[in-house]
Structure 1
Amino acid sequence: MEALIDTTNLKSIITFIHIAGLAMGVGGAWILDAMLLKDLKNQVLTSERYDVIQFVSNIVISGLCLLWLSGLAFVAFYYFYQPEYLGNEKVWAKMAIVFILSLNGFLVHTYVLPELKRAIGSALFDVLPHKKITPIIAVGVISFISWMFPIVLGVSKSLNFSTPAWQIISFYLAILTTTLGFTHIIFHRYIMLEKKPQPISFE
């Protein structure tokens, strides 16, 4: 029995939960982003499609919960068995990003999904003004970048015990801000053009 609960097996269990949370979160978030992007391009949002979006968003939230569970379990494990790992600031940077993911998930369920539900039966551009579509796109961008970053940090072993948390978070915020700005420009220059009426030709 003791062999089943030794530190190696315990850490493996926590790691498995952590990877499962990432897989659910990343897969669900990127599928959700793709669906929303497709719906923004003047496709009518059906009730069936909304149900799928809501289901996928619940998978993302479940993955987020697993990330918190495994992340706190890692902190407890390090505290009791490997306290030196608490000095690895990459751990704290990842938790800060997961906190941002949690806030973004809250916005998905309190703002994005209700707005989509009100748009059922119509194209989003027909019922949602620009000031409401822009935050929806921003939430999607934050979700995409923020779910990708924990994976990047996980495979970047060179950052262990060598890079301060503030540098990692600053780089993350720089990437996020740049992507948000670029997406905003693309949205205005290309997608919003589809709402403009075409000039009448008398030829």
Structure 2
Amino acid sequence: MELFRLGLIYVHLVACCVAIGLVFTSDVAMVNNLLKGHVSSEHDNAHMASLQKTVVMALIFLWITGAAVIGVDYLDKGMTYFANPKLQAKVIIVLLLTYNGMFLHRVVLPALQKAGSLLDLEFGVRTLAIFSGALSGVSWLYAAMLGVGRPLAWKYSLLELLTAYPVLIVLGFAMMLALTQWARKQSMVQETPWPLTSMNAR
């Protein structure tokens, strides 16, 4: 049973690492383009489509392996296992990731494909897209931290474990919102034609 549990945790960890790696590299590419003052339509659509597929596949593996690990631990420790605040925090974050993935698929991605670019979205929709992205990035990293933080088990309450979580989401959202607004202004400046001066108009 111990080897079976170890195998489940291994697959669980690999799925988490793959998701974090793909999400991180995709986000870095988007930030680099924003720093240049523009984001191409092709990159936006590819970014969101890739992010959505990654989230879905990784969440499927995480739910399956995570539920299996919980089942094995329950058989070993009984109902007291579910009182572990670290376990509760992980389940809450994975639930949020799941709902956020559904939101990305049903709302953000179709709107982005219709607009053609993140910078071309209406302010409200663009704000929701940025918040959803910030929630996704922070949640994956936070869940990974809880996953490897065995010393955190039973040492802190659920509230203490999740205190930094909303703070990091707000900070990530604020930074990306400011960067996107700056990139949008830069894009508008680049697209504005400069007045041509004629040598004869003197």
Using a 3 Å threshold, how does the CA distance of structure 1 residues 59 and 196 change in structure 2: closer, same or farther? closer
Aligned residues: 192
Gaps of 5+ in 1: 1-6
Distance 1:79 1:124, change over 3 A: closer
Say which of 72, 75, 89 aligns to 2:70.
75
Q: Is the 8 A contact 2:131 2:173 kept in 1?
A: yes
Tell whether the 8 Å contact from 2:5 to 2:72 is kept in structure 1 after alignment: yes
| Number of the residue aligned with 1:60 | 55
Q: Aligned AA for 2:76?
A: Y
Mapping 1:22-171, distance limit 5 Å: 22-37=16-31, 41-46=37-42, 50=45, 53-83=48-78, 85-120=81-116, 123-125=117-119, 127-171=120-164
State, as a whole percentage, how many aligned pairs show the same letter: 21
RMSD over aligned CA atoms reads 2.8
Q: 1: CA distance between counterparts of 2:97 and 2:195?
A: 49
Q: TM-score, normalised by structure 2?
A: 0.79
Q: Tell me by how many angstroms 1:108 deviates.
A: 1.0
Is it true that 1:12 corresponds to 2:6 in the alignment? yes
Partner residue in 2 for 1:191:
183
Amino acid of the residue matched to residue 57 of structure 2?
S
Letter in 1 for 2:65: S
Shift of 1:52: 6.8
Q: 1:17 to 1:9 in 2, by over 3 A?
A: same
CA displacement, residues 73-114 of structure 1 (integer Å, 9 cap, x when unaligned): 122111111335434210110110011111110111011211
Q: Please, which runs of 5 or more residues in structure 2 have no aligned partner?
A: 198-202
Change (3 A) 1:35 1:61: farther
Q: Is the 8 A contact 2:44 2:112 kept in 1?
A: no
For 1:81, what is the secondary structure of its paired residue? helix
| C-alpha distance 107-35 of structure 1, shift in aligned 2 (>3 A) | farther
CA distance in 2, matches of 1:99, 1:39: 31
Greater Cα shift, 80-89 or 16-25 = 80-89
| Contact preservation (8 Å) 1:21, 1:66 | yes
Name the structure 1 match of 2:200: none
- Contact 1:89 1:165 (C-alpha < 8 Å) held by counterparts: yes
